[in-house]
Structure 1
């Protein structure tokens, strides 16, 4: 809104009004504003939650192995994150931008889905929360909406990087002169090659393009659902999910910025995506909200984000990656989320398989995998056998586990960004 106001004032030669046309100014302002909002609103929100004794029942018995009791800590802190993202974006973003609209819709949609889950846990005293099938339906629905919009919207276009010429022994990347609807996506580490979904569906003959778009929509649904659930599983320790997500947000912001600049896009041999610069504003607000939330969520936490926050965070990351055609980079960039999800799948399926044989055998000491590093022997199920009972050899303090996971995510983000230069 402020963007349009100052662009209007620019016509009257108001000093300084032109600065609002610069993406760097609006992005950094969004970062600062979201950080301030999350810090200020967070304090008010936590006081209100405590005053009304609102906390998640499932957390009441959760006591840190090193003696810090988590009883009575307010949850639904994801509301702080959502407010801190939306306010700067609505003030500073170009609201006619299709990508920004999709990000706002995703934030509100998954925020509401997570809110329902937390509401049932807190006010209905049902530790199970919203049934899993309803969560999946909600995640699939927003993935379908995003994928279908990117397919049908005339504003969701790119300029493909298809022309490579040798000039003075230097490789020069050129883009098409016209904007086109494209089914291509970036393949990490492979120079001069993009994956085209229509080529995968070549067996459909003359209908391969339509089939490619259908595959793209399905891929969008899978990405959004997987990353949203991965972030949800990662939210198990103080500051864990917020810190990892902030790092991932910075990496995605870099990708969005270079994708929106035709010179940088040519230099890094990636597709030029007109309009994706507004994602930089959104992602700066996202990172600011994460950092501000960490002020209260760092160990020992004064508030938990709940599913209101974790489902929303994962969805934002997944949708943003799809928009900038970098979804194939997510297994690396969101490696922590991937490992968390994989550990739960392995643990669950192995236990079910062994149970059919009359045995109670588990692989890890606990899942998601971060719980393995803090679980004491006294907390293990005495009726079960653990294949990795002696790994790790001793439990670690929660804050040490969290920071080491952050460091791992920083390394993965650096590797992901390096893929640009490798191309």
Structure 2
């Protein structure tokens, strides 16, 4: 909206535009900051109204595979859930104001946010309105793949025309693996993986939200740099024209998540639910693919990756040996069950997420 006004209503900016750098020229850094601030304020202001509405309709039912964990979290019963609704609303509203809606990356981001949020909302609704624990893992997985493949096909249509638009690029040595149309499946794999990783991490008050903020901040930087020709060449990273607009979208997400943490920090007044965790993870994954930093994103999303690996290792070792190496997976549950206070676990995971994001950014001039 604002971009359109600057381009069509205010002729002055036509002169300013020629003196700016990058391909997303209407003050990208300014709009990233304002997108984050706008979504933060919206989430904070919408919070009380949204929480009251959710409390009258959608309340958490604490039920897991661990009776001990259920006992520890018994106080969280009846807490409003599906708080991802106002995270998504704040993000999209901010993007509509500060994003360039003619940019195909922004359009694809809106599709990813809305579609994965709808899937998450249906999963949450099934969990709350029936005796089931939501959609079956297989059903949810299939729908995630369908949505992610649609996003991958759309992205392939645009990026296949760019020299570095589709190969898998290593941050070490700059070697590449051309994958051609396999880029569609690769993109889907990244989106589905990150979507589920954030979902698995969303188990303690503020845990997934805080880790998202740190990972998102790093991805803002990567997307901005990838869309800035001079800086991309200086840092020897792939230059992706117009990718800077993704930074505005992720900035809106980070701001909305900061506002959500206002109410989700311990003791949480509202939970994110799959409504928030699925689109959050998918958008982070999309930003990594757009910036062509999927490999380095493994470090950026270090906490999410570790949480997912803990589940995979736990299941594998139990099937092979009949023994569990963790008290309970994902990893954050193991620490809670071994006597660590929830707040301490969350803060330490936040610290790890911050260090991972900083390490990934620092590696740009090292690798």
Q: TM-score when scaled to structure 2?
A: 0.91
Deviations 1:23-48 (A, max 9, x none): 12211111110000111111111012
The number of aligned residues is 358
- Matched-pair contact (CA < 8 Å) for 1:64–1:70: no
Partner of 2:283: 316
Partner of 2:48: 43
SS at 2:176 equivalent: strand
The one of 166, 185, 197 equivalent to 1:183 is 166
Give the drift of 1:21: 2.0
Inter-partner Cα distance in structure 1 for 2:267 and 2:62: 17
Deviations 1:33-77 (A, max 9, x none): 000011111111101222x25202236997674x88112110001
- Matched-pair contact (CA < 8 Å) for 1:187–1:328: yes
Which of the pair is proportionally richer in helix? Answer: 2
Inter-partner Cα distance in structure 2 for 1:157 and 1:294: 40
Inter-partner Cα distance in structure 2 for 1:181 and 1:150: 13
- Matched-pair contact (CA < 8 Å) for 2:62–2:77: no
Partner of 1:31: 36
SS at 1:401 equivalent: helix
Inter-partner Cα distance in structure 2 for 1:63 and 1:354: 26
Q: Are 1:304 and 2:285 matched, yes or no?
A: no
Give the drift of 1:8: 2.0
Equivalent residues in 2 for 1:383-394, closer than 5 Å:
394=338
- Matched-pair contact (CA < 8 Å) for 2:250–2:284: no
Partner of 1:2: 2
Q: Are 1:416 and 2:355 matched, yes or no?
A: no
Partner of 2:175: 194
SS at 1:374 equivalent: helix
Which of the pair is proportionally richer in strand? Answer: 1
Deviations 1:210-243 (A, max 9, x none): xx22322221121111111111100000000000
Inter-partner Cα distance in structure 2 for 1:49 and 1:335: 32
Give the drift of 1:143: 2.0
Inter-partner Cα distance in structure 2 for 1:398 and 1:335: 20
Gaps of 5+ in 2: none
Partner of 2:61: 57
- Which of structures 1 and 2 has the bigger CA Rg? 1
Partner of 1:71: 77
Equivalent residues in 2 for 1:194-233, closer than 5 Å:
194-197=175-178, 212-233=179-200
- Matched-pair contact (CA < 8 Å) for 2:121–2:274: yes
The one of 334, 339, 342 equivalent to 1:372 is 334
Gaps of 5+ in 1: 159-179, 198-211, 356-360, 376-393
Give the drift of 1:340: 1.0
Partner of 2:116: 110
The one of 335, 347, 352 equivalent to 1:403 is 347
The one of 319, 323, 330 equivalent to 1:352 is 319
Inter-partner Cα distance in structure 1 for 2:167 and 2:319: 40
Q: Are 1:288 and 2:233 matched, yes or no?
A: no
Inter-partner Cα distance in structure 1 for 2:247 and 2:320: 46
Partner of 1:241: 208
Equivalent residues in 2 for 1:46-195, closer than 5 Å:
46-50=51-55, 52-58=56-62, 65=72, 69-126=75-132, 128-153=133-158, 157-158=161-162, 180=163, 182-190=165-173, 193-195=174-176
Residue 183 to residue 156, structure 1, CA distance change in 2 (3 Å): closer
- Matched-pair contact (CA < 8 Å) for 1:107–1:316: yes
Give the drift of 1:343: 1.2
Deviations 1:335-390 (A, max 9, x none): 111111111112122222335xxxxx211111001101111xxxxxxxxxxxxxxx
- Aligned CA-pair RMSD: 2.4
Give the drift of 1:124: 2.6
Inter-partner Cα distance in structure 1 for 2:33 and 2:325: 45
Inter-partner Cα distance in structure 1 for 2:277 and 2:63: 16
SS at 1:362 equivalent: coil
